[in-house]
Amino acid sequence: MVFPEIATILSGIAGFVMFFNRNPKRNPPKLNDIVVSPADGKLCKPFKVSSISKLFGATSNSIKKLDKDGPHMVIPINLSLMDVHVTRSPCRAKVIDVIHQKGRFLPAICKSALEKNQRNIIVMKSKGVYFAVVQSTGALARRVRCWVAPGESVATGQTIGRILLGSNTSLIIPVKHFRYSEPYHKRVRAGETIIGVIKKG
Q: Which residues are catalytic?
A: 167
Q: Which residues pair with 43 in a beta bridge?
A: 77
DSSP state, residue 125: E
Considering just the CA atoms, what is the radius of gyration of the chain in Å? Answer: 17
Q: Are 177 and 201 spatial neighbours (Cβ–Cβ below 8 Å)?
A: yes
C-alpha span between 88 and 191 (Å, rounded): 6
Q: Which residues pair with 86 in a beta bridge?
A: 162
Other Cβ atoms less than 10 A from the Cβ of 57: the count is 10
C-alpha span between 6 and 85 (Å, rounded): 28
CA distance readout (Å), 27 to 48, 88, 93: 30, 12, 17
Q: Are 85 and 79 spatial neighbours (Cβ–Cβ below 8 Å)?
A: yes
